[in-house]
Chain A
Amino acid sequence: MLAYSLPSDISPSTFVNTASLVRIVALGLISAAAISSRLFAVVNFESIIHEFDPWFNYRATRVLASKGFYEFWNWFDPTAWYPLGRVVGGTIYPGLMATSGVIYNILHALNLPVDIRNICVLLAPGFSAFTAWATYMFTKEMKDESAGLLAAAFIGIVPGYISRSVAGSYDNEAIAIFLLMFTFYAWIKALKTGSALFGTIAALFYFYMVAAWGGYAFITNMIPLHAFVLLLMGRYTNRLYVAYCSWYAIGTLSSMQVPFVGFQPVRTSEHMAALGIFGLLQIVAFAQLIRSHVTSKQFQDLLFVSVISAAVLGMAAMVLLTYKGWIAPWTGRFYSLWDTGYAKKYIPIIASVSEHQPTAWPSFFMDLHMLTFLFPFGVLVLFRTLRDEHVFVIIYAVMGTYFAGVMVRLMLTLTPCVCVASAVGLSQLIDTFMDPREPDVGEEEEKEDGSSTTATPSKKAAKKEKNAAPVTGVGAIDDIVSTLSIAGGLEKDKSAKAKTGIFGLDTRMVVLFNTAAMLLFFVLHCTWVTSNAYSSPSVVLASSNPDGSQHIIDDFREAYYWLRMNTKEDAVVMSWWDYGYQIAGMADRVTLVDNNTWNNTHIATVGKAMSSPEEVAYPILRKHDVDYVLVIFGGLIGYSGDDINKFLWMVRIAQGVWPDEIQEPNYFTQQGEYRVDDQASKAMKDSLMYKMSYYRFAELFGGGQVVDRVRQQYLPKQGPTLDYLDEAFTSENWIVRIFQVKKEDLLGRDLKSANGFAQGKKRKRSKPPVKRRVLA
């Protein structure tokens, strides 16, 4: 009984070829959609590097492209973290830069003089196409090709991934998600086939991943966890042993070649799980060997004793090594994954980054849309089959969901898993409702078929069966059901299943139409979110003119370019660390601190200078040879990401190092409010940051009411004055303000009284003037 008729005169080879062509075309279109949806940033703005970290990666890539790999490898950057400098080659993950460098060299070898900036800008969209392909391959291993295509389409346009991979977002994540997915694919493939080749491929891509992103620790723990769970489920096979051992041995050795990682794989707690599972697998393999030689009873006893003792010994060794300092304990960033309040208490610098905050619920919907609820359904479907690889996705789903809930940033690692699980679920749904067979009513005996007992769930068999479906009446459902029964180890009554199914065309149409509508809304949502929320370079701001045309606010580049063109080449610019990479990249000047927040004390020094009164800050500035101080001020046009809004973090971080000199409560009013108007606290009003931000701001209003448009507060008409700094440059909309640090007074006075003298103010003489000493 069929709900609708199918053509029966198609030869199997035509079917296979057509399906393959459709798949290739679909994958091509998915890649094109993935790339083009990431180009909103280029179309709306320009080909520009976005945000903060990408500016450093871009700068490093330029060094790599112009000076070669060895020079890059040994690059010591004296212009960062002045006066400390930074060993760049040893403190970065070079995978991203190396990738761009290779592409750059290949293109130039072909006489295609593409600018390195364009390669960097378009790297993330390009790799998103690869990610779609890797996800297709991965999901294909989970279910079948159609689920793979769905997963590829999802990952291609899902905002959760686009948010980190739009054109210009030249960050490690741009290539890392592809590497993540491909490593997982190779791992699953190795596990399924027991192939050392795929284990090695997984290891090589793991190495690439280690070279590219600090998030490699996720793979380092996911694969051992998967292996461990499989062991607990009693699913130890030789395939698992081969896959894991080849991956671990080659992967660990090669990952140690990355200088920034070095000996961490054998010395830090994050990597111990992988090592432990490696050891455990050896023991289990040995136990298997013994089992084949001794009787069952003896083996049970032996196993019990040895497992207990091995576990106790292993734990004791681990604790001892950690205690002795051979293994580094967990890092702060790791603790903050388990205790969300940890960072705020102990490491304010980590907590001050907005992407390290816990995820809010709306952002789940914004990033995943309908996948949010398809995801649990997909996991459920996986549970029903529960092959070895399905266990992997289930673990991934649990871990990924937890981490995504803890940190906004880790939404990114959850997204691929969501896409895979949702695709499996949705594909299952569509399979069920597309299946033309209708259940047999009252004819139980008819449904007896030889092919449904085929034990191999391999894709070839599945394809054959599907191909034969219209003729023999056996299709995907039976196939899946049979795999389920085999995987679950249950012998179910087959005739019972023939009773379930869908009657008629109308029910099918209702569900399929709904599904199509949902997919359509998903596409609309993704496009909308991408174009509106994730495609702003944040270096350039856009607003609209009264006539609706786009107005570009380009203050950052204006000020940075001014610095680059009109100050000494070795001028030292102090700013809050957020802008360090941008200053180095765009203004090409020496910075005190930057987004590589490796030295908390140095950052606290800057925080202290910013939050102290001028007299206290001045010696700090002079000691660090600071020539210019740069602040971001949004009060005039209402740019809310300015330094006054970040100011409390500066205070907190400074307080962490100098608790006697800087205290956070001093910056609040009596009522505990954070204010900048005339009720602001004295410490606030005296702070260098406040003074620089509002210097001469009141004069702009020509005697009228002075409004800070970010904080919606009215400022005193008499603005702050500066004695130790001079205003050097202010950008068009006052967003960037640069102040020059004055040199010491030539007559040895302090600058405040020198300034007062210049303005004709009389000094109050409380005591008789000191006679000038005769210079020896």
Chain B
Amino acid sequence: MILLCRLALLVSLIAANLAWAAHSFENTAIVRTVELGGASVHVVTTYAVKALEPKSSVYTIALSPNEHEKTSWLEVRQKGQQVALSLQPVLLDTANNLYLYRAELPKQLAINETTNLIVETVQTHATYPWPEQAEQGDEQALKYETDLYVLSPYKTSVQRTKIRTLSPRIISYTTPEGIDFTTDNPVTKSGATITYGPYHNIPASSTLEFVQQHQKHITAHYNHDFPCAEIATLKRAAEISHWGANLNIQDEIVLHNAGPTLKGHFSRLQFQSQTFYNRPSPTILNWFTLHLPAGIRNVYYYDLIGNVSTSRLRTAPSVPKTLSGNPNQYSVMEVRPRYPLLGGWNYTFTLGWDAPLADSTSFDSKTGKYIVGVPVMTVIPDAVVDDAEVKIVLPEGATDVEFFPPFPAKNTTISTHVTYLDTVGRPAVTFHYERLTDKHSGIIYVTYKVPFSAHLRKPLAVAAGLIGVFVLSMGWRRVDMRLDTKQKL
């Protein structure tokens, strides 16, 4: 799989160079808005595009290697449209050290026809705490670094970069010097927004030459009042049971507070007085809320040494797929770790629940297949999942398994999972993901067939086992094991 990708990449390199060498577009304006958060940063870049050639339909977006590495999610839309544009595979332009994303426009543009493209990306681990250590009562400050110019293979008339933070307390930001494209102040700050630009008449910038001559590095240092939760690993297992009409979902989560690490020690006294005066410290992750599906039951929350009794749950009634209910209903779980998580502390836990199978499964009578939908993950707000594994265990004897993930997984494996009195085991599909954010809340659909005989397998196996035991004990009762049969005890 990876090898194939590499091959495609190499082959298409030459084609790539040819493709954007033709200057088919011009950017009349580029506005990049960076919404700074904790572990994830949302970047929305709007390209106002004008076609210079007839029948222009493929627009190229360039990302520097640094940005590409941080970006975990990228979507291109036309302004006013909900549907995302399809993207061609990512290309590495080795000559200029850039990654190229090529979006296909739904209809070709005529000369001088304009359109607005919105590129939305989510960057993970783009910020880091600075200072790296903080005491329990200290503020939490983060640093974000990025490049000044948005790179584009096309000429750009006006370019702006806005950096927004949640609180107006921005500690410092870079003032670039020696800017060739503006005469005004290169940067202005008002409230919680830092604006770089406008910069005028920037040539095609996706070249090594431009990057070396003009590209600047900018840094924003800001206060962030919310803890930075990070999920190091998430292991989700979804088990489908037709006999029990049940979908069990279980998440094993390793949680880490990625804020500044605790300097000195944790003082319960200080924490309790902070709680008492309702002044929560920004570095302490004390609790968070999860939106679980409606209609769940038997929710369990435990860790390696047993049940955690500190959480609260409000369940919403079940919403079967066939009925027209409010799809936005969900159960709310207030998850509280055993102890408050200070900067750099870890916590692991397991959270699971049973849900009615009808809420997430339907049967297609035309093909005779079941379709089950399992969410990739339960979103924890503003948290990044570094490494995720989603395993969907189908009923024993399921055949014709097909799966449709909402976005491609790093790799997918099919294995056999043997559990509760299984004889041949159940097919299981495992998806591996990396760096998931709140944008990755899609649903994995899996379709499969279950023949009637497979349903009967387990009861028959259990019945056979029990009959065996009874027959053996019948035989045992009827055999005389005594050596001396004349002697009576």
CA distance A523 to B268 in the complex (A): 46
Chain B contacts with A in 3-58, Cβ cutoff 8 A: none
Looking at the complex, which one of B265, B269, B338, B489 makes contact with A558 (CB distance below 8 Å)?
B338
Are B307 and A564 in contact (CB-based, < 8 A)? no
What sequence of 0s and 1s flags, for each residue 400-417 of chain B, a beta carbon within 8 Å of any chain A beta carbon? 000000000000000000
CA distance A565 to B253 in the complex (A): 13
CA distance A699 to B268 in the complex (A): 11
CA distance A113 to B425 in the complex (A): 13
Chain B contacts with A in 229-283, Cβ cutoff 8 A: 264-269, 272
With a cutoff of 8 Å between Cβ atoms, the chain B residues found around residue A558 in the complex are 338-339
Total chain B interface residues with beta-carbon distance under 8 A: 28
CA distance A564 to B348 in the complex (A): 10
CA distance A562 to B348 in the complex (A): 10
With a cutoff of 8 Å between Cβ atoms, the chain A residues found around residue B306 in the complex are 46-48, 540, 557
Are B345 and A565 in contact (CB-based, < 8 A)? yes
| Stretch in contact with the other chain, from A152-160, A201-209, A493-501, A725-733 | A725-733
Looking at the complex, which one of A560, A727, A732 makes contact with B265 (CB distance below 8 Å)?
A727
With known contacts A561-B339, A696-B269, A111–B422 Cβ distance under 8 A:
yes
With known contacts A565-B346, A565-B347, A728–B265 Cβ distance under 8 A:
yes
Chain B contacts with A in 305-357, Cβ cutoff 8 A: 305-310, 338-339, 345-348
With a cutoff of 8 Å between Cβ atoms, the chain B residues found around residue A540 in the complex are 306, 309
Taking CB as reference atom, which chain B residue is nearest A554?
A: B309
With known contacts A46-B306, A193-B489, A561-B303, A740–B267 Cβ distance under 8 A:
no
Are B346 and A113 in contact (CB-based, < 8 A)? no
Looking at the complex, which one of B269, B310, B339, B489 makes contact with A700 (CB distance below 8 Å)?
B269
With known contacts A48-B307, A557-B305, A558-B338, A566–B269 Cβ distance under 8 A:
no
With a cutoff of 8 Å between Cβ atoms, the chain A residues found around residue B423 in the complex are 111
CA distance A199 to B419 in the complex (A): 42
Looking at the complex, which one of B309, B339, B420 makes contact with A552 (CB distance below 8 Å)?
B309
Looking at the complex, which one of B265, B309, B338, B422 makes contact with A561 (CB distance below 8 Å)?
B338
CA distance A294 to B418 in the complex (A): 75
Looking at the complex, which one of A554, A566, A585, A734 makes contact with B345 (CB distance below 8 Å)?
A566
CA distance A113 to B264 in the complex (A): 44
Cβ of B421 within 8 Å of any chain A Cβ, yes or no, is: yes
Are A554 and B310 in contact (CB-based, < 8 A)? yes
Give the shortest distance, in Å, between A113 (CB) and chain B (any CB).
5
With a cutoff of 8 Å between Cβ atoms, the chain B residues found around residue A730 in the complex are 266-269
The B interface is mostly helix, strand or loop, or mixed, namely loop
CA distance A113 to B303 in the complex (A): 18
With a cutoff of 8 Å between Cβ atoms, the chain A residues found around residue B265 in the complex are 726-729, 740
Cβ of B456 within 8 Å of any chain A Cβ, yes or no, is: no
Give the shortest distance, in Å, between A266 (CB) and chain B (any CB).
33
Looking at the complex, which one of A111, A562, A700, A727 makes contact with B421 (CB distance below 8 Å)?
A111
Are B489 and A195 in contact (CB-based, < 8 A)? yes
With known contacts A110-B421, A112-B420, A552-B309, A562–B269 Cβ distance under 8 A:
no
Chain B contacts with A in 386-445, Cβ cutoff 8 A: 418-423
With known contacts A46-B306, A565-B346, A729-B339, A112–B269 Cβ distance under 8 A:
no
Are A727 and B267 in contact (CB-based, < 8 A)? yes
Give the shortest distance, in Å, between A623 (CB) and chain B (any CB).
23
Are B420 and A113 in contact (CB-based, < 8 A)? yes
With a cutoff of 8 Å between Cβ atoms, the chain B residues found around residue A676 in the complex are none
Looking at the complex, which one of B267, B338, B418, B422 makes contact with A562 (CB distance below 8 Å)?
B338
With a cutoff of 8 Å between Cβ atoms, the chain B residues found around residue A48 in the complex are 306-307
Chain B contacts with A in 436-472, Cβ cutoff 8 A: none
Taking CB as reference atom, which chain B residue is nearest A49?
A: B306
With known contacts A110-B421, A112-B420, A566–B346 Cβ distance under 8 A:
yes
Give the shortest distance, in Å, between B181 (CB) and chain A (any CB).
50
With known contacts A111-B419, A111-B422, A560-B305, A696–B339 Cβ distance under 8 A:
no
Give the shortest distance, in Å, between A754 (CB) and chain B (any CB).
15
Give the shortest distance, in Å, between B42 (CB) and chain A (any CB).
30
Give the shortest distance, in Å, between B89 (CB) and chain A (any CB).
41
Cβ of A97 within 8 Å of any chain B Cβ, yes or no, is: no
CA distance A557 to B308 in the complex (A): 9
Cβ of A586 within 8 Å of any chain B Cβ, yes or no, is: yes
With a cutoff of 8 Å between Cβ atoms, the chain B residues found around residue A696 in the complex are 267, 269
Chain A contacts with B in 558-600, Cβ cutoff 8 A: 558-562, 564-566, 585-586
Are B420 and A111 in contact (CB-based, < 8 A)? yes
Best-surrounded residue of A112, A193, A561 (most CB of chain B within 10 A)? A561
Taking CB as reference atom, which chain B residue is nearest A560?
A: B305
CA distance A729 to B308 in the complex (A): 19
Are B421 and A112 in contact (CB-based, < 8 A)? yes
With a cutoff of 8 Å between Cβ atoms, the chain A residues found around residue B305 in the complex are 557, 560-561, 564, 585-586
CA distance A195 to B488 in the complex (A): 12
B interface with A by C-beta (< 8 Å): 264-269, 272, 303-310, 338-339, 345-348, 418-423, 489
Task: List 28 interface pairs A-B (beta carbons < 8 Å), by A numbering.
Answer: A46-B306, A46-B307, A48-B307, A111-B418, A111-B419, A111-B420, A111-B423, A112-B420, A193-B489, A195-B489, A540-B306, A554-B309, A558-B338, A561-B303, A561-B339, A562-B339, A562-B345, A565-B346, A696-B267, A726-B265, A728-B265, A729-B268, A729-B339, A730-B267, A730-B268, A731-B268, A731-B339, A732-B268
Known: A554-B308, A730-B267, A730-B269. 17 other contacts (CB 8 A): A46-B306, A110-B421, A193-B489, A540-B306, A552-B309, A561-B305, A562-B345, A564-B304, A565-B347, A700-B269, A700-B272, A726-B264, A727-B267, A728-B265, A729-B268, A730-B266, A732-B339
5 nearest interchain CB pairs?
A730-B268, A552-B309, A46-B307, A558-B338, A586-B305
